[in-house]
Amino acid sequence: MAWRSSGRTNAELITNLFNAGLITSPRVRESMSSVDRAHYCPSSPLAAYEDSPQPIGFRATISAPHMHASAAESLLPFMPEDAGANVLDIGSGSGYLTHVLANLVCGADGKGDGHVVGVDHIQGLVDMSRENMRRSEEGRRLLDTGRVELVVGDGRKGYPEGGPYDAIHVGAAAAELHQSLVDQLKAPGRMFIPVEDKDGWGSQWIWVVDKDKDGKVTKKRDMGVRYVPLTDAP
């Protein structure tokens, strides 16, 4: 089903995702439309507008656009426009979703008060994600104003120095639902995290973890997925 949403241009890809019901929110549509996915797939520019993961080197992939859409839509209620939300993107890889999230919390002009930290444990990927983001004027502004920070670190520990966060996205499958990440959520806040199942079949599920305004945590298992693991650095 996913490949049906592919396009020949970024605009076509996003329109097809919207028409297929894989993007439902106008804000997510606008935010993804204004980030050219080809800037974040330097090694496979011809495949940039396919609705599929693509290799980005270092044995990592940029996730499929419909997964980025689904993550952004899940976290959206915790990233209201003009509220200056603080967001953590773990396993930021190419930097694509970090940029989309920054558009959501900083507004279309990139001048809002939002802040997004992208964390990856591979220095080469963090360097590449900065280069990718610098390919557009909006991306350069987000970096130069400090609204987006891309740092090297072990995402299983989160990034407490930048927290707490209204929304946390995890882009690699965790062996467990790390408590350190739950602790870094604001009250209220939401985390979107793929977690390995203990069934022995290698299944992974998205878990949506909500912390309410009183600090009460609830966890809901959402869809089955396939992500690269959240591991030790190579």
Residues of this chain that bind ligand SAH (CB under 6 A): 60-63, 90-94, 96-97, 119-122, 125, 154-156, 171-172, 228, 230-231
User: CB-wise, 215 or 229, nearer to ligand SAH?
Assistant: 229
Distance separating alpha carbons of residues 186 and 149, to the nearest angstrom: 19
Closest listed residue to residue 117, CA positions, set 86, 94, 93, 84 = 86
CA gap 82, 91 in Å, rounded: 26
Which one of 33, 43, 52, 63 is the catalytic residue? 63
The distance of closest approach from Cβ of residue 67 to ligand SAH in the complex, given in angstroms and rounded to an integer, is 8
Residue 106 contacts residue 142 (beta carbons within 8 Å): yes
Question: Least distance in Å: CB of 195 to ligand SAH?
Answer: 13
In angstroms, what is the minimal distance from the CB of 104 to ligand SAH?
15
Choose between 58 and 188: whose C-beta lies nearer to ligand SAH. Answer: 58
Q: Give the CB-side neighbour count of residue 28, counting CA atoms within 13 A.
A: 23
Taking alpha carbons only, the member of 28, 53, 79 closest to residue 17 is 28
Shortest Å distance, C-beta 25 to ligand SAH = 19
Q: Is 63 one of the catalytic residues?
A: yes
Apex 229 CA angle, 31 and 87, nearest 5:
35
Structural contact between residues 211 and 185, judged by C-beta atoms closer than 8 angstroms = yes
Mode of pairing for the β-strands spanning 217-225 and 185-196: unpaired
Query: Which residue, 55, 70, 91, 90, is CA-closest to 20?
Result: 70
Q: Which is nearer to ligand SAH, 44 or 216 (CB)?
A: 44
Residue 13 or 97: the one with the smaller Cβ distance to ligand SAH is 97
Q: Which residues are the active-site residues?
A: 63
